[in-house]
Amino acid sequence: MNDLDTLVQAAQADFAAARQGAALEDAKARFLGKSGRITELLKGLGAMPPEQKKSRGAEINQAKGAIEAALQARREQLAEAELDAQLQAEALDVTLPGRGRGIGGLHPVSRTIERIEAIFGSMGFDVAEGPEIETDWMSFTALNNPENHPARSMQDTFYVDVKDAGGRWLCLRPHTSPMQVRYAQAHAAKHVGTQAMPEIRVIAPGRVYRVDSDATHSPMFHQVEGLWLGANVSFKDLKVVFADFVRQFFETDDFDVRFRPSFFPFTEPSAEIDIRFGSGPLAGRWLEVAGSGQVHPNVVRNYGLDPETNIGFAFGVGADRFAMLRYGVDDLRLMFDGDLRFLSQFR
């Protein structure tokens, strides 16, 4: 092995030993720099006789080429290693669990509605849902409201800037009672011409809207409408069904139910339903929880049915009220503020 081979090997070893770009450039300078080993050898050529100069020059240039190639190869190696290291450092482990995974839960009002559905479901009630944007006819007229009834007024009802086919403003339904009409009409249409139409037993939960806002009123709240219509369903049946519902909902027998005479255009007679617990934090106070009554003959006619043979009762339960009573919440607004500190207690 001649001195040039040794030199090339030394350069290769130095380059391999360089772990980063800066160290490699230093190594390069030692061989190829202004006073590097190769440069020195080339400078030494000048003192040589022409023949020797030529062959020695060619050998040195060959060695120089080999060193340059080794340098380039090492540069590429280092650049690749650097990229690898960077990719590793910035690697994202998509299999790691996220930070603070929130556990979701059903809203207390949704839970309450599901509970009400399950209880009435067990008593043979169907569950129906309908539109929150309603016609004036469904919301009021079909329900036997006189044209000048205050419930129609702008102070109570939210109107939508769109008119129906009859030129009446649409509204956000102020109660779930339109669902009595929608469900009964569909039921009547389905069984038209049949000998004995099956009874209607349905509940219709959903959002309702009124211009009202304080600790016990929200402009959006929830009702569950109930309708049981048959050949001769009486007020007594309403009392039995409602008391049974309260018993199952609150899981207690220790309460009284009171039917307080009231007025709704769509029922006659009408009653507010109050309950009073015998024990627990709410004991002793009458709490109003629903409106109810025997369906008015005019309303049955608007269902498309004969009021002589279709008799029954309807009720409207305040679902939020039931949620508040069950969970001991005293401000309705908490239910709809969307504050997780409140909501996460119900997970």
Q: Which residues bind ligand PHE (CB under 6 A)?
A: 175, 177, 264, 267, 291-293, 314-316
Nearer of residues 108 and 174 to ligand PHE, judged by Cβ: 174
Q: Cβ 334 to ligand PHE, closest distance in Å?
A: 22
Which residue's CB atom is positioned nearest to ligand PHE?
316
Q: Cβ 174 to ligand PHE, closest distance in Å?
A: 7
Nearer of residues 31 and 228 to ligand PHE, judged by Cβ: 228
Query: Can you give the chain as a three-state secondary structure string?
Result: CCHHHHHHHHHHHHHHHCCCHHHHHHHHHHHHCCCCHHHHHHHHHHHCCHHHHHHHHHHHHHHHHHHHHHHHHHHHHHHHHHHHHHHHHCCCCCCCCCCCCCCCCCCHHHHHHHHHHHHHHHCCCEECCCCCEECHHHHCHHHCCCCCCHHHCCCCCCEEEEECCCCCEEEECCCCCHHHHHHHHHHHHHCCCCCCCCCEEEEEEEEEECCCCECCECCEEEEEEEEEEECCCCHHHHHHHHHHHHHHHHCCCCEEEEEEEEEECCEEEEEEEEEEECCCCCCCCCEEEEEEEEECHHHHHHHCCCCCCCEEEEEEEEHHHHHHHHHCCCCCHHHHCCCHHHHHHHC
Nearer of residues 205 and 316 to ligand PHE, judged by Cβ: 316
Q: Cβ 219 to ligand PHE, closest distance in Å?
A: 14
Q: Cβ 108 to ligand PHE, closest distance in Å?
A: 21
Q: Cβ 255 to ligand PHE, closest distance in Å?
A: 21
Nearer of residues 60 and 314 to ligand PHE, judged by Cβ: 314
Nearer of residues 144 and 292 to ligand PHE, judged by Cβ: 292
